[in-house]
Amino acid sequence: MTIPLVLSAISLCLCVSGFFFFRRYIERKTAARELLADYRAEVYRLIAEIDAAADRDSLLVEERIKTLKTILDDTDRRISVYMRELQRSRAGEAMYASLGRGIRAALDSRPVPVEPPVSEEPPIPQKPQLQEPAVSPPPPAAVKRKPKKTKIKVQIAEMSAQGLSPAEIASRLNLSLAEVDLALNLLRR
């Protein structure tokens, strides 16, 4: 009988010691200090992950800001080029409009000098003819000025061939510099 009694005493001791061991283990795992340490470790891990994500996001934002700045700089440069070209075209339009008015005014306002034909032979006497009814000459506005235009073009071409600058030609012919430049460009074409 002693063997079953010894075995029961050993198993009772094992049960009691197991009970106290597990009780102590559960108390230790559920103690405030242990829970606080676990929570702290979890919070630090979460903070590290959030910091890493925020760093990645801030790098992406910085890259996009740099890209946006380059796009804006390129756009500003294109706008400034466009504005310069627009101003040039407006200035060119205004210059050609004033040039056209100046040429028309110059051609319309100057009297056409009529040069008598130079001939070395004495005039041939003509037979008297019957007089026809007198026809009045056309009014000055109806007179074609094409010979004068050609004359000015010829004068500009001759002066240019002599080596005069467009400014000198303009001052001698009493024309604007733009008119002379236009005439020279047309002659070159």
Q: Is the pLDDT of residue 182 over 70?
A: yes
Q: Is the pLDDT of residue 139 over 60?
A: no
CB 145 within 8 A of CB 180: no
Rounded-to-integer distance, Cα 124 and Cα 23, Å: 154
What is the per-residue pLDDT for 20? 93
Give a yes or no: residue 75 inside a domain. no
CB 149 within 8 A of CB 107: yes
Rounded-to-integer distance, Cα 152 and Cα 169, Å: 11
The one-letter code for the residue type at 96 is Y
Structure tokens belonging to residue 120: 């070395």
Mean pLDDT of 155-177: 90
Give a yes or no: residue 185 inside a domain. yes
Instruction: State CA 111 to chain mean position distance.
Output: 49
pTM: 0.33
Give a yes or no: residue 166 inside a domain. yes
CB 84 within 8 A of CB 164: no
Q: Is the pLDDT of residue 135 over 70?
A: no
Give a yes or no: residue 9 inside a domain. no
- Report which of residues 32 and 77 the model is more confident about: 77
Residue 157, domain extent: 145-189
Give a yes or no: residue 23 inside a domain. no
Give a yes or no: residue 177 inside a domain. yes
Q: Is the pLDDT of residue 134 over 70?
A: no
Q: How many domains does the chain have?
A: 1
